[in-house]
Structure 1
Amino acid sequence: MMSNNKLKLVLDDNLGIPKYQQIINAVTEGLENNVLKIGDLLPSINAFSKDYGMARDTVFKAYSQLKKDGIVKSTPNKGYFISGNSIKVLLVLDTFKAYKEVLYGAFINNLPDNIIVDLQFHHYNPDNFKTIFRNTKGKYYKYVVMGFDHKEVPRVLSEIDKDKLLLIDWNVHSNSDNNYVFQDFGKAFYETLVDIKNRFKKYKSLSFIYPEFTYHPKETLIFFEKFCEEHQFDYNIVDNSKAFKVERGIAYISVSDRILGKFLEQCRDKALEPGVDVGFLSYNETPMKKFIYKGITVVSTNFEALGIKAAEFVTTNESIQCYIPTKIAIRESL
């Protein structure tokens, strides 16, 4: 029990974390470290208030939140005791798309029942990103974060204990001592193009559609150009979605499923057969792409594996630094 020195609480006004949240953190960390166990009695609100020189309302607020989270229960004439060992994890993604659903599903399905996952989205908005972490500082056991390229991001991430932080998907603003599970948007993408270069030879040129609304890493464009120049393919890059017009004899590569929809619509209107008259290579696998039309060829990392690795970081308390391979699924569209 806390009153028997099973748990030491050191309040620090310099952390920028409210005192009630420091109490919550002390209890949850005690559970995570097996210092506290189910059935252990916590000090009464009056005793806690007296021992640590804080207001009763502060202690009550902490205990109430712990009850809400299912970590403690209260019994009349007995007080507050540990009833469970729930742990809260924050998962921050960029936007919600079909392949992110695969990642999320793999993540939560590989966590034990006592881990609660809160999911938030930053939508590539730096103010939103800052607000998420300002409001969650010190409240979570682990933080699993999909970052983006903005100068404010590294400053925000630097305020999170590196042992509690896992960066996923995009290697941007990471340091050598960060935990991470990334995909490779550059060299690995280039290597998949090399693997299927013979399929491109039946087309007169390649066109990479990189629409104005995408946040896909531009590293991919650099390696696309490298591939075309080294293997002598005529090519162009279209960065205006309104200028996208399907033409016979061209193979298209796109990072946007909106563009895929436009491609199929124009193929229907112009009586062009994907995989014969025109080609299409889509980025990021989703469960439906194998069934769309006669199947869409996809280059993608394994988002299920990425989610499983992220769950492994949460459950093992071990550091992790790895890349998930990028592979290609050949279907009728190319």
Structure 2
Amino acid sequence: MSKFHFKIDPASNQLKFQQLIDSVTEAISKNLLQAGDILPSVNQLCKESSLSRDTVFKAYAELKNRGIIESVPNKGYFVSKATTKVFLFLDTFKAYKEVLYGSFLENLPDNIAVDLHFHHYNINVFETIIKESLGKYTKYIVMNFDHKRVPEIVKQIPNNKLLVIDWEVHAKPENSSVFQDFGQSLYDCLQAHLQPIKKYERFIYMYPEFTYHPQESITHFNAFCKDNKISSEVLKNSREFNIQPGDLYLMVSDRMLARFLDQCDQKKLVPGKDVGVISYNETPMKKYVKEGITVISTDFELMGRKAAEFVSGGESVNFCVPTKLTLRSSL
């Protein structure tokens, strides 16, 4: 007797054969179906769910094509393996994203495979890859970005299958999300370490023209400096970057952090003494560079762990991953 029972959702915009495919893959991911379990026969599904034979055959053929089920003559259709696929869509692959990705994989059950894609903030790439992925995965983990067309593209993914991570921009209230705060958390981190910041003459936010870091961070940086009467500047032209003794720099780009360190060597300036630097986003190497780079960062390991919980547990989630400043010698 089959463990699997299927009912058409008349309110769904999905085609019936796609609903059947999704129901089978969802049942496998939740261990309601396991390798070797028999599926309902074509005749049984037609009778119980009012599906046409063509619809059932089409769905089963696609599941066979993906290697999820197999057919045995005179016996029927069986789950061939318990592996299901997750769609992971990141912006770019930087060192801190590797931490997130590693944590995500480490906390997933062995029966779940991950297809990793990148959009590089290109809306055409974003749209194409999303469209090509629809209906092929049990869960979708997507890093949104600030573009007006993102909401209309992402809404094609069923809400119960979608998790927005890292940046909550364009996420709807009904979407699951595991994200970081780029505004108030920055202000709070700086305020908690006001004393070492105030030993510098100026505080400069290096926000280069090529960054996609959320602009709300500029608002909160300016508010922090104004509230604490700190001389400050937001520098957006990377060609004008020229470090001076007595200045403290907030870096959202590791490319600009490397230029900062190069200029320190060229000008014989010691980070944490002659000039200061705070870098956004922890990476494994920053605690070793120049006796330690001070960082403001969310916990990317925790973000990966929470994303894995969404995939394996299936429950909706809305979780803001804490951000903290880790004080090292560069400040």
The worse-fitting range, judged by mean Cα deviation, of 250-259 and 83-92 is: 83-92
Aligned counterparts of 2:273 and 2:133: Cα–Cα separation in 1: 52
Map 1:1-334 → 2, pairs under 5 A: 6-8=4-6, 10=8, 15=13, 19=17, 21-32=18-29, 36-42=33-39, 52-54=52-54, 58=58, 61-67=61-67, 71-75=68-72, 78=75, 80-334=77-331
Unaligned runs of 5+ in 2: none
Aligned counterparts of 2:129 and 2:142: Cα–Cα separation in 1: 11
The worse-fitting range, judged by mean Cα deviation, of 220-229 and 41-50 is: 41-50
Q: Which amino acid aligns with 1:148?
A: F
Q: What is the aligned-residue identity percentage?
A: 48
Q: Which amino acid aligns with 1:230?
A: D
Aligned counterparts of 2:279 and 2:13: Cα–Cα separation in 1: 46
The worse-fitting range, judged by mean Cα deviation, of 324-333 and 23-32 is: 23-32
Aligned counterparts of 1:59 and 1:94: Cα–Cα separation in 2: 32
Tell me, what secondary structure is at the counterpart of 1:300? strand
Q: Is the contact between residue 7 and residue 26 of structure 1 (CA under 8 Å) also seen in structure 2? A: no
Change (3 A) 1:49 1:322: closer
Q: Which amino acid aligns with 1:320?
A: V
Q: Is the contact between residue 48 and residue 59 of structure 1 (CA under 8 Å) also seen in structure 2? A: no
Unaligned runs of 5+ in 1: none
Aligned counterparts of 1:59 and 1:129: Cα–Cα separation in 2: 27
Per the TM alignment, residue 93 of structure 1 is displaced from its structure 2 partner at its CA by 0.8
Aligned positions, number? 328
Q: Which amino acid aligns with 1:185?
A: F
Aligned counterparts of 2:159 and 2:58: Cα–Cα separation in 1: 28
What is the TM-score when the length of structure 2 is the normalising length? 0.90
Per the TM alignment, residue 59 of structure 1 is displaced from its structure 2 partner at its CA by 5.6
Tell me, what secondary structure is at the counterpart of 2:159? coil
Change (3 A) 1:64 1:231: same
Aligned counterparts of 2:55 and 2:19: Cα–Cα separation in 1: 14
